[in-house]
Amino acid sequence: MSQRFIRDRVHAVGVNHWNRRLFDSLIPLPDGTSYNAYLVRGSEKTVLLDSVDPLLADEFFANLTGVEKLDYVVAHHVEQDHSGAIPEVLRRWPQAVLLCSPKAKSMLVDHLSIDEARIRTMADGETLSLGDKTLHFIHTPWVHWPETMSTWLPEDKVLFSCDFFGSHLATTDLYATDEWRVHEAARRYFAEIMMPFRLQIRKNLEKIQGLPIDIIGPSHGPVYGRPAFIVDAYRDWASETCKNQCVIPYVSMHGSTEVMVHHLVEALTLRGVTAMPFDLSVADIGKLAESLVDAATVILGSCAVLVGPHPAVANAAMITNALRPKLRFAGVIGSYGWSTKMVEHLAGSLGNLKVELLDPVLARGYPKQKDFEALDRLATVIAEKHAAL
C-alpha cells in the first residue's frame, strides 16, 4: 500500500492481509485483516510505530523504501502480528532503538530473541522529542496483553492505539468511512480480544479522556477520523450494562434438542426477549462471541454424547467462560438418551462467570408436553429477571 498520508510527515505503512481467514488458529476472519504500522518523521528523529506479521514482511519493507534513517521503533505490543517483523527492522536499521513498556522488554527478548541492549523502556506518561513532534507514551494494559501501550502525538492530535479500538478488516479505505461496516468488525474484534478486560478498558478510556485527539490509528482495520465513533462504542461495550438478550448456542444430533431450542426462541420472543440461537454445527464462532457482548443470559442447548454434553457445546461453554462476557444468567437445556451429566459438566465450565444458574430443562428423548411447559416457564423466568435488571 506504500506510504499513505495521515498528517504532515505522519504516514501509514502497514499492509492488508486480504485472504487471512483464521487468527490465533481460532478466530475466523471473514473480512481478512490488516497489520497497521505508522512512520512519523520529526524534524530531528524518525520513528516507526509497530511492524507487521512476518508473513507479509516483504510488502511491509517495500513500503519503507526510501527510509534511510530510522532512530526509533516502537513496539506497542509484543504479539507477533505487530512485532514479528521488528527483528528484521532492527537488522536493517542497526542504529534504531526499540522503545516499549517495561513489561514488554523481557517479552520481546523471550518471544523474538531481540538483544536487550537495543531496547529502551518508556514509563507511563513519558515523552520523547522527535524535534517538532513529540511521542507521548500511555500505558494501556490488557488491550490486549498486559504490556500494551499507546502513543499520542500531541502536535498532530493523533493517538496510535495498537489493538485498542482495532478491527479485523482488510480494506483500501484508509479511514473508517463506512462506519456501519467498521462498527460490526470492531465489535466482533472487541468480543474476541477485549471483552475479558472490560474493567481495564474502562480505565484506559479514562486515561485518554480529555486528550485532544482528532485521529485514532489502531493496529488493525481503518483509521478513525471521527474518534468519538469508536470511543463511544467502546464505552458501551465495556460497560456492565446488559441488554434484554438471550444467546442460545446449541447442537442437536437427531432433532430433539433443536425442537426445544426453537420452542424456547419462540417463547422468549413472545415475552419480549431478543433470542439469538446459534447452531454450532454451522455457526461462526466470531458471531457467537459478538452476540455475547451485551447479552444478559446464555442458555446452552445440547444433546447428550456418551452422557456428557456434545463436544461443540462444551467448546462453546469454554469459549464463553474464557471471554468473560457481562452475562448475569446461564442455563442448560437439551435431550438425552438414557442418562446425562451434561448440566454438571457445562455449569462447571462457566466458573469465570458471575452468573445465576437457572433451572435446567432436560428431556429424555423427544420433548413432551411437560418439557415444552418447562421451557415456557424458563422463558418467563428469563424475561422477569431481565426486566428486573
CB 76, CB 38: distance < 8 Å:
no
The distance of closest approach from Cβ of residue 302 to ligand FEO in the complex, given in angstroms and rounded to an integer, is: 32
Binding residues with ligand FEO: total (CB under 6 A): 8
82 is an interface residue for ligand FEO by CB under 6 A: yes
**Scanning residues 335 to 374, which ones bind ligand FEO (CB under 6 A)?**
none
CA-wise closest residue to 109 among 88, 137, 78, 142: 78
Q: Identify which range of 79-87, 248-256, 313-321, 363-371 contacts ligand FEO by CB under 6 A.
A: 79-87
144 is an interface residue for ligand FEO by CB under 6 A: yes
Q: How far is CA 319 from the centre of its chain?
A: 13
163 is an interface residue for ligand FEO by CB under 6 A: yes
The distance of closest approach from Cβ of residue 204 to ligand FEO in the complex, given in angstroms and rounded to an integer, is: 14
Close Cβ partners of 65 (under 8 Å, ≥ 6 residues apart): none
Closer CB to ligand FEO, residue 238 or residue 264?
238
Buried b (16+ CB within 10 A) or exposed e, 28-58: bbebebbbbbbbbbbeebbbbbbbbbbbbbe
First to last CA, the chain: 48
Q: Identify which range of 39-47, 74-82, 202-210, 316-324 contacts ligand FEO by CB under 6 A.
A: 74-82
Q: C-alpha grid cell for residue 180?
A: 456501519
Q: Identify which range of 77-85, 98-106, 173-181, 303-311 contacts ligand FEO by CB under 6 A.
A: 77-85
Q: What is the dihedral of CA 164, 109, 134, 170, to 10 degrees?
A: -40
219 is an interface residue for ligand FEO by CB under 6 A: yes
79 is an interface residue for ligand FEO by CB under 6 A: yes
Contact characters 220-239, ligand FEO, x per CB under 6 A = x-------------------
How far is 32 from 34, CA to CA, in rounded Å? Answer: 7
Closer CB to ligand FEO, residue 81 or residue 376?
81
Closer CB to ligand FEO, residue 79 or residue 371?
79
Classify residue 384 as left (phi > 0), alpha (psi -120 to 50) or beta.
alpha
133 is an interface residue for ligand FEO by CB under 6 A: no
Buried b (16+ CB within 10 A) or exposed e, 267-281: bbeebebbbbbbebe
Residue nearest to ligand FEO (CB): 79
- Residues of this chain that bind ligand FEO (CB under 6 A): 77, 79, 81-82, 144, 163, 219-220
